A and B are shown apart, each in its own frame.
Chain A
Amino acid sequence: MRRLLLLPFFALPWAVCAQEISCAAVSYFQQHPECGSEGRGAKCIQLDITHSLDKEGKPFVFAWNFGDGTTKEGPLTEYCYAQYGTYQITMDLIDPVTKQVIHNELTTQVTLLPPVDFAIDTLRETSAVFKYDPELLPGIAVEKVYWKVENGHYCGETMRHAFAKPGLHIIEIAAVGKTAEKMSFNGCTLRGVFIAPKP
């Protein structure tokens, strides 16, 4: 089973611990809200503009291009990609009578990240060191690891965090690197960690 290595915080020298100051993890998790959403690790998307339909406007056909060559029509549509990645999605309007096309009426970008499957044990310490284990992602040369827990953001393979209070806490973890085929890899996941109250 893939696991994070949990170490007492004093087991590692301070210098190797991830730093919270000026850490790129803040911008990473801002740019990838999907890491903390229910859709992490998913390949399917739903596009919905039904709430902004203008009933007084001229009727058009909403034609979506999902960025991988697939097209669908309608104000509410769903699609499952074959692969994870970043896709540029565009919507054209087609006049149903004249067939004239208004290109790029709407554009958006979606990033589907593969899951990085970790597990975290129950802790009995309110302050602990988490260490990312490279063997958890075989074939991936991980270059950066980002963490988000409570209000803290950390960069690096090792992270120390002092939990403010016992209970269930969510840890978001992301890994960025290269595959064996030199393709970029970008994955994340979200796990809960339970801090047991002190007896």
Chain B
Amino acid sequence: MSSFPTLRIQKCSAHLLGLVLIMLMVACPSIVQAQRVPNEIENIDYLITYGAQADLARGDDDHVQILFFSVPKSYKAPFYIRVYDPDTGGQHDELHGAANTSIRFSLLGGKSAYTNKDAQKVNPTGNYASGNPLASKVFGSESTYDANWYSFGPFNPLQGEDVPDMDAHVFKLVVEGLQGDDGNQYRCFLSELNTSNRAIEGANVFAYEYTFKLPKSRGVSHIYPFVDKSVISVTQYNFDYDRDGDILLYSVAKNRHPGAISNDKEWAKSKHAVADAEKNTTLDIQFQKAKEGENAVSFYITNQYDEAIPFFTIPIGGPPRYRYDLKVNIKSASGN
């Protein structure tokens, strides 16, 4: 689904994206220093991966989550990828009967960990777990890790895939629901430290698909895809949103365009043209949750070639603001 039509376009897009990202990260260093996934700015509390036997109506379309961690080449020290509440059971997780679910977390680096096309697909087919295995652990319902952190690492930044266009080494975390029917809710943090969270300056985390839990209360959650200058249209796909409010596209040139919303256990999609002003900027996909209660949803967004577009936990260049043309006229008397 995310394959590029030609190698030339793929290289061009990756190069452009990399250059723009480097420029924006240099220009906005203060906004790329927090690597909690999902991030506070997204207003998403937890990612969620269900066991392989869970009904799709729970909201997870494929029981696999793939995250990419980019570590800038300027960072040379060891680091850790920490996971909060990696077990399935106890607090924060979604249990259906007795806890019976096991989830595997696998860290991969080296050549093709990121650049393998299968890794960037929204469906886990082919060699999506490409690269060199660096660490792996299967979590069940161990109370040791309930509402607690588990640290993968230490890793040498050079163990990641060298991606020159991003000026970074990229690592991949693959989370797979092996068995069971429960939902494992978790967070990750890219940290300099083993026992606490200290962000790496200039690092970021991105994905091509999210399966996540919306906040229980009404409110707005955000996903921030970056649109490079080659994109002329985007198509947003959402699964099992349960018609729980609106999904709106917001940007410098779009003031909350309604997107199609899915019902229970179904996909919905809508296509939206990209204006010139939106190129090389971040979009804000807003989930305006209307009902109180639990809801998990899967989401991805593609360009005109049906290639998945990455979205970043820290929006590149900051969250977009719609550009109002406000005219303030000072008058000697009111017309009213």
Q: Can you list 17 A-B pairs with a CB-CB distance of less than 8 A?
A: A42-B330, A42-B333, A46-B331, A46-B335, A47-B327, A48-B327, A52-B322, A52-B325, A54-B255, A57-B254, A58-B246, A58-B248, A78-B331, A78-B334, A98-B288, A100-B218, A110-B328
Binds B, one of A7-15, A33-41, A129-137, A162-170: A33-41
Asked if B330 contacts A57 (CB within 8 A), the reply is no
Inter-chain contacts of A58 with B (CB < 8 A)? 246, 248, 255-258
Inter-chain contacts of B325 with A (CB < 8 A)? 49, 51-52
* B326 interface residue per 8 A CB criterion: yes
Report the bound CA distance from A46 to B326 in whole Å: 10
* A27 interface residue per 8 A CB criterion: no
Inter-chain contacts of B335 with A (CB < 8 A)? 46, 78
| Shortest beta-carbon distance from B271 to chain A in Å | 13
| Shortest beta-carbon distance from B253 to chain A in Å | 8
* A180 interface residue per 8 A CB criterion: no
**Residue in contact with A45 in the complex, picked from B322, B324, B330, CB distance below 8 Å:** B330
Contact pattern, B 257-274, Cβ under 8 Å of A = 1, otherwise 0 = 110000000000000000
Instruction: Tally A-B pairs: CB < 8 A.
Output: 89
**Residue in contact with A108 in the complex, picked from B248, B323, B328, CB distance below 8 Å:** B328
Nearest A-chain residue to B332, judged by Cβ? A42
| Shortest beta-carbon distance from A46 to chain B in Å | 4
Nearest B-chain residue to A45, judged by Cβ? B330
**Residue in contact with B336 in the complex, picked from A42, A48, A78, A102, CB distance below 8 Å:** A78
Inter-chain contacts of A49 with B (CB < 8 A)? 324-327
Report the bound CA distance from A39 to B327 in whole Å: 13
Residue count of chain A within 8 Å CB distance of chain B: 33
Inter-chain contacts of A79 with B (CB < 8 A)? 334
Asked if B254 contacts A45 (CB within 8 A), the reply is no
Asked if B334 contacts A48 (CB within 8 A), the reply is no
Are A108 and B330 CB-contacts (below 8 A) given A46-B335, A58-B256? no
* A181 interface residue per 8 A CB criterion: no
* B329 interface residue per 8 A CB criterion: yes
* B290 interface residue per 8 A CB criterion: yes
Inter-chain contacts of B220 with A (CB < 8 A)? 102
Inter-chain contacts of B334 with A (CB < 8 A)? 44, 78-80
Contact pattern, B 298-336, Cβ under 8 Å of A = 1, otherwise 0 = 000000000000000000000000111111111111111
Asked if A108 contacts B326 (CB within 8 A), the reply is yes
Inter-chain contacts of B255 with A (CB < 8 A)? 53-54, 57-58
Are A39 and B331 CB-contacts (below 8 A) given A52-B325, A78-B336? yes
Asked if A47 contacts B330 (CB within 8 A), the reply is no
Are A100 and B288 CB-contacts (below 8 A) given A54-B322, A58-B257, A106-B324? yes
Nearest B-chain residue to A33, judged by Cβ? B330
Report the bound CA distance from A45 to B255 in whole Å: 25
Inter-chain contacts of B254 with A (CB < 8 A)? 54, 56-57
Report the bound CA distance from A78 to B328 in whole Å: 10
**Residue in contact with B332 in the complex, picked from A44, A47, A53, A106, CB distance below 8 Å:** A44
Nearest A-chain residue to B250, judged by Cβ? A57
Taking CB atoms and an 8 Å cut-off, the chain A residues in 52-96 that contact chain B are: 52-54, 56-58, 60, 78-80, 95
* A188 interface residue per 8 A CB criterion: no
* A18 interface residue per 8 A CB criterion: no
Asked if B322 contacts A39 (CB within 8 A), the reply is no
Inter-chain contacts of A45 with B (CB < 8 A)? 328-331
Closest 7 CB pairs of A and B: A39-B330, A54-B255, A57-B255, A52-B325, A48-B327, A46-B329, A42-B332
* A145 interface residue per 8 A CB criterion: no
Asked if B330 contacts A44 (CB within 8 A), the reply is yes
Inter-chain contacts of B245 with A (CB < 8 A)? 98
Inter-chain contacts of B257 with A (CB < 8 A)? 54, 56-58
